Amino acid sequence: MNRSRLAIAGGKPVRTKPLPLEFPGIHHMDQREVDAAVRVLRSRSLFRYYGIALQKEVEKLEAELARFFRVKYTIAVSSGTGALQVALSALGVGPGQEIIVPAYSWVSVAAAVVNQGAIPVLADIDDTFCLNPAEVEKCITPKTRGIILVHMSGAPGNVKEVLKIARKQRLFLLEDCAQCNGGSVGGQKVGTFGDMGIFSFQMNKNITAGEGGCVVTNDARLYRRAFAVHDLGFARDQNGRLIMNDPDLCLWGKGYRLDEVRAAILRVQLKKLPSIIERMHASKYRIRTALEKFPQVQLRKIIDKKGDTGSFLIITYHDAETAKKINLALRAEGIVTSSQGISNILMTDWGLHLYYNIPSLVNQTSVDGRGFPWTLAENAGLARDYHKGACLVADSLFERSMLIAVPSCLSEKDEDDIIRAFDKVLSALLLARTSIAAA
Ligand SMILES: Cc1ncc(COP(=O)(O)O)c(C=O)c1O
């Protein structure tokens, strides 16, 4: 047990050098990504469908993603937000429909539903920090059309249970795997359980080209619809020419095509994904195991340890006051990243991931002057409550939990320091409790 004076009380901090920033894919970037980008630039063919010397990087990326996820169809797109909108369009989401979304996700999830003219319905989470299947069931009404399960903070949600509910109730299941790329449950990759899955390749994600995303599905019709929507609304032939006479694919395009440079970078990153995950997973579980001995710590429930990508560690305490105290003490011990990074924070500071922090959702705002989609006649009477208090388990978990990003480049010394800082702070707290109890 470490009994030295806490840095917050004037003692020497465990470390003074900031921890590395999160950005998993970035830490593994090297000359290979540079060469890939330069190869495309030299070809002067930056568009997926034609060019002076087209490299077909996007097409190759899609084939490689399909092999990696073991899924029939993939569509590379320009962002995870775009991927969500493409998937919901392919699934036929529109006014008069309720779509179940988790209390803990990201603003893009609710945004995608609202942009389709449908109404997001919040379902509470459990100690997996993902959808609680029992809460999903409670949210189902005759207007419910589908469920978006978001595999949050690096680890999979309870996808098998949620899938059972979706199948029983004839609802679609869309898996948002933006934060869990490469994660799996029982050896099957997340994103491939439901009707469709989406991924993000934005800079904070497990692999990246700065921006990017993809949509995956095993359903041929959903694939064709999504492919048309991500582009101009129509199918294309082998040579990239538009096919305008297919009545099933005369849709409205959203313009989320991916470009050749980012596809080339992502092809290199995809090859590195298993080793990126291996590094984060090893660091996370070394720290997690060390924390297990502390009775005041409650660790996030993990559905499948093997399938956890390891990018985040979530620790919950008995009450909000204890969480705050420990968080501040750990930060004083030097368990922080440089100012750009968001690590070792209380979850209440986790911005647009918490439903009640999304002002456009809470206030039901609209981009038009007439209140679309909230005021549409089709949406009258649909369930909606987005203020804090709507999801009590999430509210309590957010207040009592701390989130630590696990970069893919943590050294053994960094891990030692994190463990030593926890040991120091938690031991002091335990000691203080024991002395109060003994007094
Ligand atoms: C859960 C989740 N879904 C969707 C997205 C959107 O991805 P992008 O930033 O690529 O648009 C994000 C991005 O942070 C996310 O965390």
Q: Among 346, 364, 263, which Cα is nearest to 54's?
A: 263
What domains can you pick out in the chain, each with its CATH number?
Answer: 31-269 (3.40.640.10)
- pLDDT for 234-256, tens place per residue? 999 988 999 999 999 999 999 99
Q: What's residue 418's pLDDT?
A: 97
Strand order from edge to edge, sheet including 213-217:
73-77, 213-217, 196-200, 172-176, 144-150, 98-102, 119-123
Q: How far is the CA of 106 from the centre of ligand 1 (A)?
A: 6
Please give the distance of CA 345 from its chain centroid, rounded to a whole number. 17
Residues 37-55 have a mean pLDDT of 96
Which range, of 32-41, 113-122, 170-179, 420-429, averages the lowest pLDDT? 420-429
CA atoms within 13 A on the CB side of 154: 30
Average pLDDT, the chain: 95
Tokens matching residue 419: 């463990």
CA atoms within 13 A on the CB side of 250: 5
Q: How far is the CA of 126 from the centre of ligand 1 (A)?
A: 21
79 lines ligand 1 (CB under 6 A): yes
Q: Which mutation among 130, 202, 258, 262 tests ligand 1's pocket best, with the greatest number of atoms within 8 A of CB?
A: 202
Q: Among 420, 428, 427, 155, which Cα is nearest to 290's?
A: 420
Residues 137-153 have a mean pLDDT of 98
Q: 158 pLDDT band (50/70/90 cuts)? A: very high
User: Distance between the two ends of the chain, CA-based, in angstroms?
Assistant: 21
Q: What's residue 434's pLDDT?
A: 58
Is the N-terminal amide bond of 373 cis, ω within 30° of 0? yes
85 lines ligand 1 (CB under 6 A): no
Q: What's residue 168's pLDDT?
A: 98
Residues 393-418 have a mean pLDDT of 97
CA angle 84, 85, 89 (to 5 degrees): 120
Q: What is the CA radius of gyration of the chain?
A: 23
Q: Among 210, 265, 269, 267, which Cα is nearest to 37's?
A: 265
Tokens matching residue 292: 């297990």
- pLDDT for 350-380, tens place per residue? 999 999 999 999 999 999 989 999 999 999 9
Q: What's residue 342's pLDDT?
A: 73
Strands 144-150 and 119-123 turn out to be unpaired
Single-letter code of the amino acid located at 143: K
Q: How far apart are CA 142 and CA 132, in angstroms?
A: 20
Q: How far apart are CA 437 and CA 439, in angstroms?
A: 6
- 325 an active-site residue? no
Q: Among 288, 346, 293, 343, which Cα is nearest to 320's?
A: 346
Q: How far is the CA of 205 from the centre of ligand 1 (A)?
A: 9
Q: What's residue 275's pLDDT?
A: 98
Residues 84-100 have a mean pLDDT of 98
Q: What's residue 299's pLDDT?
A: 97
Q: What's residue 224's pLDDT?
A: 97
Residues 393-406 have a mean pLDDT of 97
CA angle 401, 406, 409 (to 5 degrees): 165
Q: Among 406, 412, 418, 415, which Cα is nearest to 179's?
A: 406
Residue 191 has pLDDT above 80, yes or no: yes
Residue 311 has pLDDT above 60, yes or no: yes
Residue 431 has pLDDT above 80, yes or no: no
Residue percentage of the chain with pLDDT more than 70: 97
106 lines ligand 1 (CB under 6 A): yes
- pLDDT for 64-87, tens place per residue? 999 999 999 999 999 999 999 999
Q: How far apart are CA 179 and CA 109, in angstroms?
A: 12
Residue 341 has pLDDT above 80, yes or no: no
Is residue 155 helix, strand or coil? coil
Q: What's residue 206's pLDDT?
A: 98
